[in-house]
Structure 1
Amino acid sequence: MKKSLIALAALGAMSAASAQSSLNLYGIADVVIHKDKGVAAKMTSGGVSSSRIGFKGTEDLGGGLKANFLLEKGVDLTSGAAAGFDRQSYVGLSNQFGEVRLGGVYTAYDDVAAATSPVFDSVLSPTKFLPTLNDYNYKPDGNIYYASPDFGGFSGAASTSLKQKPGNKATAFHVKYEGGPVYVSLGYQRDSASGSSTTFTRLNGSYDLGVAKILAGYGVEKDVSKDLTLGVDVPLSANLTLSAGYARAKLDAGGTATGFGLAAAYSLSKRTTVYGGLRNDNVDAVTLGGVDSRVGFGLKHTF
């Protein structure tokens, strides 16, 4: 009888713990086949979203306080290769005053940097060569991150990393407003390494007209470039969206990099999407990592 009571007590404790805690497995599988000018056709993992698998969970500590964690690793679907938890990996606390995260956390600047990138921020987007979207340290080691609660559509975040390596540090913040059809964000980051530093600033905005969503952004990497992005997302039906975009970077060293992209995405279900389109960058953009011309088609599934 005593053993039965102990077993029932243990079962009750486990049930209570499970009611206060949650653990979720999630992921994205995304592959695109693309043909670039002068290069053989290639299959790439992550055309719209990087392929990944992750574990996340929370524990209710009472009084509105929660403990949170996330472990996420990238997966190359073309080979099945997967490194360690090379994406985000952190533990933190949250309550009505916001959330603190500690570990391998994306910076506050990274949260908003590509928020209004046209053409689904995919490998077909003309923004992929822009220095303000590529040159910064998006996930410094030993990062401390704080995100505020929402105040009537206004919110913000700040992050700073410890000097895990001599002289290396990344400090960033963002503020944003999301209300109705309007989105506006401002992000800033300062990267320091070996006695030198670089700053990044981006102002992004979008407005949803219903028949189309207008996207725009302006960015500056100090002593490197100033860039502008323009785009539009047009819902052609409940499942089909057409997106077009233009990007330009005026380089401080001379030259102007430009690119154009056009793509369509069709939702087969809430979790599965097929997409395809084209992209063209000029010579100066190619020197920054762009492509002369590209045509691609892909498939994305989330779980």
Structure 2
Amino acid sequence: MKKSLIALAVLAASGAAMAQSSVTLYGIADLAVVKAKGSSAALASGGVSTSRWGLKGSEDLGGGLAANFNFEQGVDLTNGSLKGNGFDRQAWLGLSGGFGEIKLGKMWNAYDDIVGATSPLFDSGALTTNNLAPSYALEAGNPGNAVYYATPSFGGVSGAVSTTFKTGETNARVTAFHVKYEGGPLFVGLAHEQQKDDLSADLKLTRLSASYDFGAAKLLASVGQVKDVADDVTIGVDVPLSSALTLSAGATQVRPEVGDNGTRYGLAAAYGLSKRTTAYTGFYKDNKAAGDGHLFAVGLKHAF
């Protein structure tokens, strides 16, 4: 009898603890058929969004404080393989509350938060014209060994700062910040990132992004600079033709310090089959200075 009472007490205690915390399994499955100039048609994983799976959770610590975590890994749907040696996209632990949010580990940094915010063609991995204006990063993707802090929103204004501890043989370090305003139909974001290492590499990236939603159409714009490397300008528009169908168009011009200007323009459409599943198609074309290439894609994206 005593053992039964003890077991019931343990179950009750664990049930109360579980009620104050949550863990969510989530992911995106995105697969497209793409045809690039000079190449045969092929499947591509992540036509719009990188295919991925992840776990995220939060525990209410009381007093408005919460402990949070996120583990996320890319998936190649063309062959079923996992990307990276573990959680290559995100792996962090943090706290949030009235002070904002702090994250420790591997996450998208403060510059990344702004870069794709106003990219046309749905910020598509395969199609968006802004792919012509990469970050020229020393660190591919989002570096780990990082600290990230985001402020609360004050009347629509918020900010974030992130940095990494020195890593590797070259003591590479990536530091970034952003300030943004989100109020009604208007979004404006300014971000800066600096990447340094002991090999005298010193890249400074700056980007200003903005959008305005008129209802009938949403205008998109972005201006970026990698100091002493290149400048770029992107303009675009999203037009909702119905509750399910959206058309997006855009163009990007990159002006390098050395060489001719490169230009890419594109057009895409997305149709929501449900809240979680979207069919899409689109194309882009480059001018001669950007490689004189073009790409056509049609795909399906499912979020869970």
Q: TM-score, normalised by structure 2?
A: 0.96
Aligned counterpart in structure 2 of residue 195 of structure 1, from 192, 200, 208: 200
d(CA) in 2 for partners of 1:63, 1:227? 46
Q: Which residue of 1 aligns with 2:20?
A: 20
Instruction: Give 1:136 shift.
Output: 5.8
Q: Which residue of 2 aligns with 1:141?
A: 144
1:6 aligns with 2:6: yes
1:256 aligns with 2:261: yes
1:151 aligns with 2:145: no
Q: Which residue of 2 aligns with 1:179?
A: 183
Q: Which residue of 1 aligns with 2:236?
A: 231
1:125 aligns with 2:101: no
Q: Indicate if the aligned counterparts of 2:223 and 2:232 stay in contact, CA closer than 8 A.
A: yes
Letter aligned with residue 122 of structure 2:
F
1:55 aligns with 2:55: yes
Q: Deviations over 1:141-168 (max 9, x none)?
A: 2010001111111111100000121320
Q: Which residue of 2 aligns with 1:91?
A: 93
Helix, strand or coil at the partner of 1:47: coil
Q: Deviations over 1:193-218 (max 9, x none)?
A: 22221000000000001100000000
Helix, strand or coil at the partner of 2:112: helix
Aligned counterpart in structure 2 of residue 168 of structure 1, from 155, 172, 179: 172
User: Aligned runs of 1:287-298 on 2, under 5 Å?
Assistant: 292-298=293-299
Q: Indicate if the aligned counterparts of 2:137 and 2:195 stay in contact, CA closer than 8 A.
A: no
Helix, strand or coil at the partner of 1:131: coil
Q: Indicate if the aligned counterparts of 1:109 and 1:172 stay in contact, CA closer than 8 A.
A: yes
Q: Indicate if the aligned counterparts of 2:31 and 2:300 stay in contact, CA closer than 8 A.
A: yes
Aligned length: 298
Q: Deviations over 1:62-118 (max 9, x none)?
A: 222111111100000000000311111101111111111011111100011111010
Instruction: Give 1:124 shift.
Output: 1.5
Identity, in percent, stands at 54
User: Aligned runs of 1:260-271 on 2, under 5 Å?
Assistant: 260-271=265-276
Q: Which residue of 1 aligns with 2:212?
A: 207
The root-mean-square deviation of aligned C-alpha atoms, in Å, is 1.1
Letter aligned with residue 99 of structure 2:
F
d(CA) in 1 for partners of 2:137, 2:240? 32
d(CA) in 2 for partners of 1:231, 1:129? 14
d(CA) in 1 for partners of 2:202, 2:296? 37
Helix, strand or coil at the partner of 1:163: coil
